[in-house]
Structure 1
Amino acid sequence: MNLFIVEDSLLIQNRLVSFIEELSDISIVGITPDIGSAYDKILNAHADAMILDIQLSDGNGLNLLKKIKNTHPEIRVVVLTNHSSEANRMQALRAGADSFLDKSTDFEQIPSILHRWQATGLGH
């Protein structure tokens, strides 16, 4: 599975990379800290899945989520955020998020989600 990360916190980026490097058959094909260039980078990297923060330095990740899901609905998306209000969760799910996680409490769920997606035939 090709995984792309859209996250502006270097600390979280590093934590995700160290988590995901332990997983077999999952490759990080790109990381970007902003929305501006993310869409083209995701498509050019042939991402099967992505981890997306909502609050980024240059805007709201939900707009990128909507654009990705409108043009490439097969790309699976985990929204990973510190802003895990019920309103944000509902907005993310309506925009097409496949999973919605709180950075402070749900981080450890990422490997099982990615493995589940792999088991259902996502990625090659």
Structure 2
Amino acid sequence: MKAFLVDDSPMALEQLGAMLFEMGDVEIVGEAGNVQDAEQGILRSRPDVVILDIQIAGGSGVDVLRTVKKALPSLKVVVLTNHPFFQYRVKCMAWGADYFLDKHNEYVRIPGIVRQLRWAGERPDSRGEDLP
């Protein structure tokens, strides 16, 4: 599974990268710390999943979410935030986020969520076209 990480904290990017690397089958295809680099990197690398902080330089993770989901509607996005306010959750889910996590309380859920998304992506087509 290919992952792209977006956070303006180098330490957070390092921790996320290490956590996903330990899973053994996740390839980090890019990292960004601002809106412009995130949008360009995601659209160029076409990852399977994006782990996206809301508060980043140059705008908001919501801006990134809106842009990349328009271009790549099947892209899976896990939003992380230190500010898990209800209005952010509603906005992110409306723009297509698959998960909205509080960095302080739900960070440890990321490997399980990535496994679940990978498994869902590997399932045979529901119409049976991939079955023998």
1:44-100 CA distance string (max 9 Å, x none): 222111001111121111011011111111110000111101111111101110000
Equivalent residue number for residue 77 of structure 2: 77
Q: Name the one with the larger helix percent.
A: 2
In the aligned structure 1, how far is the partner of 2:107 from the partner of 2:20? 12
Gaps of 5+ in 1: none
Q: By how many angstroms is 1:14 displaced? A: 1.1
Larger Rg: 2
Percent of matched pairs sharing the same residue: 36
Q: Is the 8 A contact 2:43 2:68 kept in 1?
A: no
Equivalent residue number for residue 34 of structure 2: 34
**Aligned AA for 1:82?**
N
How large is the RMSD of aligned CA atoms in angstroms? 1.0
Gaps of 5+ in 2: 123-132
> Structure with the greater relative contact order (CA < 8 A, sep ≥ 6): 1 or 2?
1
In the aligned structure 1, how far is the partner of 2:52 from the partner of 2:3? 11
Equivalent residue number for residue 57 of structure 1: 57
